[in-house]
Structure 1
Amino acid sequence: MGEVADMYTQDGTVDMKGNPAVKKGTGNWRACPYILANECCERLAYYGMSTNLVNYMKTRLGQGNSVAANNVTNWSGTCYITPLIGAFLADAYMGRYWTIASFMIIYIIGLALLTMASSVKGLVPSCDGSGTCHPTEPQTAAVFVALYLIALGTGGIKPCVSSFGADQFDENDEREQKSKSSFFNWFYFSINIGALVASTVLVYVQTHVGWGWGFGIPAVVMAIAVVSFFIGTPLYRHQRPGGSPITRIAQVLVASARKWSVAVPADKAQLHETLDKESGIEGSRKLEHTDQFGCLDKAAVVTAEDSAAASPWRLCTVTQVEELKSVVRLLPIWATGIVFAAVYGQMSTMFVLQGNTLDQRMGPRFSIPSATLSMVDTISVIIWVPIYDRVIVPAVRSVTGRPRGFTQLQRMGIGLVISIFSMVAAGVLDIVRLRAVARHGLYGDKDTVPISIFWQVPQYFIIGCAEVFTFVGQLEFFYDQAPDAMRSLCSALSLTTVALGNYLSTVLVTIVTRITTRHGRLGWIPDNLNRGHLDYFFWLLAVLSLLNFLVYLLMAKWYKYKKTAEYPDAKGERNQEH
């Protein structure tokens, strides 16, 4: 019987036909190249289109700076909200494989329409001799329909691919569990390879060759991503969809409210649970009872009025209650990621504005655009992922004895600390910059400070290092700690920190500007930064990051790692991580 059990995965995954997945023929690293190639191509297509999109809005659609920037921001924010839709469908009804497959088709349709809008006669706006374009309403509409089809498409891919890749590793197999942690590192590595090619090669094509080619290449690359994904189909393991997670959460809340006056028994074994090995939720293992949020346990208390076939709106299983507890426990950790995302967002805003005032020359004939320096962040990630996976993890593992080296919470916390130093580096550089401004009297709006833009490299490089700890740690943490039947939804939840971080940054800039410009003062962030104090804004973010880290320490100490019924307390990394 033991040999037969070892043939199949023990985490509930199945093959394409719905049979228990055979370990030797499915999943593990053999399935990952197709998933990683898909992600690399999809991110190359996404960043190849989005990185220079604001310039397309300005040159082809004739929009002003503020209108173009707002349109890009709104679209980008939508790309981080739609994952909630795709994740819900994946967890509830379609499964991750079919959700990815379906939304990739929508994605390609959007890219194809965008390519046509930038290359097909009649859809391309007419431009006069001065280069000013005059799009018609249908031409503008075609572009926005294409963009929001892409936003919908990415909503089904972004939250599911990382979870689907992690599904290929059996959590009950010690060797495969160790490989799962490495998968998240290489998944983020593949994202940044795609982003690096997009921000260099594709931006050059769009600028010097044309928008038709600049958007057509991402469409072709996305087609390659689709082919790569489908080639690996026979090798994939699948987690079965468990029905609507929102319904199950509502049932626990309603059942616990209906039994508010009922006492929870001291012996938690008396709480309602299925007698089978499997939980009552399709594709989900049983979860052990935890003591936190005891009021929710009332939903699983069996009373005299409850029959064997009681409605789930009155009587829930322990596993269903623990699902909700798991999500509630994730929320404080999720919230502490918003400040980090705000710091990360400075690369596309304040770092660029700071770089605009510096000497951008590379030799006598070439200048580097300040926005291009963001590739240092990507290069930093590409450097740090192998170092973390091949050097840091084995070294820490030899000390702690944990398969992952650091716990997931420790890893994210280290990234939060590192991000503080990025703001410190940016602030110190701005102090030096302002001293140079004062020394040379460079207070004009167009004056260039005689400091090389390459002094910004440290702040970009440090953020890349922080990403490897915090963002990759979040990917792994939200997948691992989510209930089996809610993993896509929790992965989508982690992505929303990026959108909320951008919104937080906008709010901070608005508040700082309003307060510091009172009584006729120029403020910290005027149009002419040579007369401002951008360094104060970086110090503000550094202080907020420090306070956020202190809150994170409290939340991490309070957090209790999820325990499935298959993991006795004496085994498994999760229990070591307490």
Structure 2
Amino acid sequence: MIYHVFICFVYFFPLLGAIISDSWLGKYRTIFYVSIVYALGQLILSASATPPFGLPARELSMVGLLLIALGTGGIKPCVSAFGGDQFILPQQERYLAMFFSLFYFSINTGSLISTLLTPVLRDTKCFEDECFSLAFLVPAILMILSIVIFVSGKRMYKVVQPMGNLIVKVSKCICHAISNKVKGRERKCDHWLDHADDTYENKLIEDIKAALRVLKLFIPLPIFWALYDQQGSQWTFQATRMDGRIGGFVLLPDQLQAVNPLLIIIFIPIFETCIYPIFEKIRMINTPLKKLVAGGFLASVAFIVAGLVELELEKTYPKLPSEGFAQIRIFNTMNCPVTLTMTQENKEDKIIEIKSLSMWADLEVEAHGSVTLPYTANFTTCNNKGYTNLINEVPGNIIAAEATASSWVITPLGLQYHYEDYVDKPDKGKPSVRALIYLAPEVNGNSSLTFVDSSNATVLSITVNSSVFAHSKPKQFDKPDTYSVFLDEYLLKKDVPFRLGGAYTVVGSYLPSLQEITGEVITVTQPNSLHMAYMLPQYIIITMAEVMFSITGLQFAFTQAPESMKSLLQAGWLLSVAFGNLIVVIVKGSRPFERQVYEIFLYAGLMAVVIAIFAVMTIFYKYVEMPEEEVSDRAIPLEEQNGNVNPTYKEDEK
């Protein structure tokens, strides 16, 4: 929810950036000033993740995210339009199209590097935990460097000056037209905006008409972004439940997002040099609006594929406690089998033999509110192995609450200890482990259960209390791997695989009187079995959709905008992304379905219906033809900057 609210702000603030740019500062100065805000937000975000500072982490991180949203909101509507300003239209229109592709190519190159590198930086250790502060600090430093590079090229830029408080003028013009239309019903006009011609000049009215024609087409488009931006949320969560092993390398769930920018880098030249020329020759998908329609349908197909993957993934999900039932697990920490005779109302007694260092489970115990199951534990076999002070027949009750998973632990003291267990797959996808180790009273002090990798480095340590048996809370490994398990210096198990999505419990006991240290690793929740490669088709399709939809949309918004409103329409295009993420927030907040797969198919259906409506709307749109010489009066000539020859200028040969 926080992720999509943040993305919503990121794409809402471009409207503010467009107002500032077109009304007061101009594109160059707006980019410069808000980039400073952006870098400041990243520095604050890094500071919020630095424990020694003693700062309120959550509140400060929200401030950092807000400043980043403000900063990127100012940059987004200006940077692409600022790049477009460097070209003379229509003579250099083909270079403009190439610029937008290269612009998008550059963005995705940075995204590829970031999505691969940032999780690695985060997984390094600092302050005895994951190093989020470093993961945020590196892009902050790079952002500061980018500001220096941007400013150093100022003398080479063509800078178009702002053209007045456009948003206010447009708003007043529209309100005036509506007011006149309501008051003067007898007057007939070709367009309702013409009612404002008594106060406002004709050029402004015509520019607003052109802008509204484009903005009207943007109305159905937010649904595309509702699908697209779930790569960073729903699709990443989907990946946490999948296996990322590739040979000796393990791909982390959030690193899978690198597939999108990598494919973008591959697809852009393919589409520009091969696919689009073929479409041109066969006169199919050969206009910007047709490309937008095709991209929208591809997004729907991508989510249908994602839904099919989710159906397969559901087969690997653990069985969770549900209404009307309880789950009971019994762990035996002793190196001997224990027999339980369990009494159930209106049923025959159930005799359960729990093997040494093992787990027994019943995942569907009928329970309404709670259920009490009397039992008798037989320790005869354990006494025969030298255990002392054990009563052979020990009575007791197992109590389980409805819709919960309760775990009970057998120790030489009997069946006294229990806790509410968490049996779902770990949230981050990384393997988790819990310790159930009984230490005899003669063991002085605490012991440590440690997990050692192949280089003999301790990657995880769990303290085991000797005074009273106490189970540990589950801990997560930094990465899935094969580890050896030690109780102090004693090797319990060697080379145990701990995989993505698995939940494990180490059971055992340390009994000096018997000169016995035993242990076993039990898999409570099976690790992920479906490979992340199954997600590649949906990533390939959504990336093809993005190439046809996003790049084309940016170019369409720029070329169809009047000269005075280019940044405004760029902001309008980006605003559709904000509303798309707002759709996700609303759907997630309402929780319409228990099963995730239904929500995925809902998005696929909505996308198909909305893009069909959009396709019909495009039939009635007439493209704006570029005049032969449309250069702003306030634009500095491309071939001259501040009275000097612009070193970057070269007359277009064609």
Report the TM range for the smaller structure's normalisation.
0.5 to 0.7
What is the match of residue 391 of structure 2?
A: none
Aligned pair 1:362/2:246, yes or no?
yes
What is the match of residue 110 of structure 1?
A: 41
CA shift in 2, pair 1:88/1:151, >3 Å: same
TM-score by length of 1: 0.67
Say which is worse superposed, 99-108 or 140-149, in terms of deviation.
Answer: 140-149
Looking at secondary structure, tell me which structure has more strand per residue. Answer: 2
Say which is worse superposed, 492-501 or 109-118, in terms of deviation.
Answer: 109-118
Q: Provide the C-alpha distance between the structure 2 equivalents of 1:336 and 1:258, rounded to a whole number of angstroms.
A: 29
What is the match of residue 374 of structure 1?
A: 257
Aligned pair 1:479/2:363, yes or no?
no
| 3-state DSSP of counterpart to 2:245 | coil
Q: 2:622 is aligned with what amino acid?
A: K
Gaps of 5+ in 1: 1-68, 127-134, 266-290, 301-313, 517-522, 526-533, 569-578
What is the match of residue 595 of structure 2?
A: 524
CA shift in 2, pair 1:115/1:346, >3 Å: closer
What is the match of residue 123 of structure 2?
A: 207
> Over the residues paired in the alignment, what is the CA RMSD in angstroms?
3.0
Q: 2:595 is aligned with what amino acid?
A: W
Q: Provide the C-alpha distance between the structure 2 equivalents of 1:459 and 1:483, rounded to a whole number of angstroms.
A: 37
Q: Which of residues 6, 12, 15 in structure 2 aligns to 1:84?
A: 15
Looking at secondary structure, tell me which structure has more helix per residue. Answer: 1
Structure 1 or 2, whichever has the larger Rg, is 2
The answer on whether the counterparts of 1:336 and 1:552 sit within 8 Å (CA) in structure 2 is yes
The answer on whether the counterparts of 1:95 and 1:240 sit within 8 Å (CA) in structure 2 is yes
What is the match of residue 171 of structure 1?
A: 89
Per-residue deviation at 1:447?
Answer: 3.6
Q: Which of residues 25, 29, 33 in structure 2 aligns to 1:94?
A: 25
TM-score by length of 2: 0.59
Q: Provide the C-alpha distance between the structure 1 equivalents of 2:171 and 2:60, rounded to a whole number of angstroms.
A: 40
Q: Provide the C-alpha distance between the structure 1 equivalents of 2:544 and 2:363, rounded to a whole number of angstroms.
A: 34
The answer on whether the counterparts of 1:332 and 1:555 sit within 8 Å (CA) in structure 2 is no
Q: Provide the C-alpha distance between the structure 1 equivalents of 2:619 and 2:363, rounded to a whole number of angstroms.
A: 50
| 3-state DSSP of counterpart to 2:200 | coil
Q: 1:205 is aligned with what amino acid?
A: L
Q: Which of residues 618, 621, 625 in structure 2 aligns to 1:556?
A: 618
The answer on whether the counterparts of 2:5 and 2:582 sit within 8 Å (CA) in structure 1 is no
| 3-state DSSP of counterpart to 1:359 | coil
| 3-state DSSP of counterpart to 2:624 | coil
Aligned pair 1:454/2:533, yes or no?
yes
Aligned pair 1:418/2:497, yes or no?
no
Aligned pair 1:428/2:300, yes or no?
no
Aligned pair 1:232/2:232, yes or no?
no
Percent identity (aligned): 29
Per-residue deviation at 1:442?
Answer: 12
Q: 2:86 is aligned with what amino acid?
A: Q
Per-residue deviation at 1:243?
Answer: 1.2
Q: Provide the C-alpha distance between the structure 2 equivalents of 1:494 and 1:406, rounded to a whole number of angstroms.
A: 21
Q: 1:191 is aligned with what amino acid?
A: I
Per-residue deviation at 1:353?
Answer: 3.0
Q: Provide the C-alpha distance between the structure 1 equivalents of 2:363 and 2:255, rounded to a whole number of angstroms.
A: 25
Summarize deviations over 1:20-45 as a string: whole Å, max 9, x none.
xxxxxxxxxxxxxxxxxxxxxxxxxx
Q: 2:40 is aligned with what amino acid?
A: I
Q: Which of residues 572, 588, 601 in structure 2 aligns to 1:539?
A: 601
Say which is worse superposed, 218-227 or 427-436, in terms of deviation.
Answer: 427-436
Q: Provide the C-alpha distance between the structure 2 equivalents of 1:376 and 1:481, rounded to a whole number of angstroms.
A: 32
Say which is worse superposed, 423-432 or 196-205, in terms of deviation.
Answer: 423-432
CA shift in 2, pair 1:546/1:118, >3 Å: closer
Written as runs of structure 1 = structure 2, the 5 A alignment for 1:41-60 is none
The answer on whether the counterparts of 1:433 and 1:449 sit within 8 Å (CA) in structure 2 is no
Q: Which of residues 186, 193, 204 in structure 2 aligns to 1:320?
A: 204
CA shift in 2, pair 1:398/1:229, >3 Å: farther
Summarize deviations over 1:172-224 as a string: whole Å, max 9, x none.
31xx1111111111111111111111111132123215344333321221122
Q: Provide the C-alpha distance between the structure 2 equivalents of 1:327 and 1:248, rounded to a whole number of angstroms.
A: 14
Per-residue deviation at 1:431?
Answer: 3.1
CA shift in 2, pair 1:258/1:434, >3 Å: closer
Q: Provide the C-alpha distance between the structure 1 equivalents of 2:10 and 2:132, rounded to a whole number of angstroms.
A: 22
Aligned pair 1:193/2:255, yes or no?
no
CA shift in 2, pair 1:372/1:212, >3 Å: closer
What is the match of residue 159 of structure 1?
A: 77
The answer on whether the counterparts of 1:442 and 1:449 sit within 8 Å (CA) in structure 2 is no
Per-residue deviation at 1:434?
Answer: 4.1
Aligned pair 1:147/2:65, yes or no?
yes
Q: Provide the C-alpha distance between the structure 1 equivalents of 2:221 and 2:172, rounded to a whole number of angstroms.
A: 29
The answer on whether the counterparts of 1:84 and 1:155 sit within 8 Å (CA) in structure 2 is yes
Summarize deviations over 1:264-308 as a string: whole Å, max 9, x none.
57xxxxxxxxxxxxxxxxxxxxxxxxx6xx1212322xxxxxxxx
Q: 1:328 is aligned with what amino acid?
A: L
What is the match of residue 283 of structure 1?
A: none
Q: Provide the C-alpha distance between the structure 2 equivalents of 1:112 and 1:510, rounded to a whole number of angstroms.
A: 31
Gaps of 5+ in 2: 126-130, 320-361, 365-422, 425-524, 631-654
The answer on whether the counterparts of 2:554 and 2:570 sit within 8 Å (CA) in structure 1 is yes
What is the match of residue 180 of structure 2?
A: 258
The answer on whether the counterparts of 2:112 and 2:259 sit within 8 Å (CA) in structure 1 is no
CA shift in 2, pair 1:172/1:264, >3 Å: farther
Q: Tell me the matched-pair count.
A: 422
The answer on whether the counterparts of 1:373 and 1:457 sit within 8 Å (CA) in structure 2 is no
Q: Provide the C-alpha distance between the structure 2 equivalents of 1:358 and 1:106, rounded to a whole number of angstroms.
A: 38
Say which is worse superposed, 252-261 or 406-415, in terms of deviation.
Answer: 252-261
Q: Provide the C-alpha distance between the structure 1 equivalents of 2:270 and 2:259, rounded to a whole number of angstroms.
A: 17
Q: 2:302 is aligned with what amino acid?
A: S
Per-residue deviation at 1:240?
Answer: 2.8
Q: 2:180 is aligned with what amino acid?
A: R
Per-residue deviation at 1:242?
Answer: 1.6
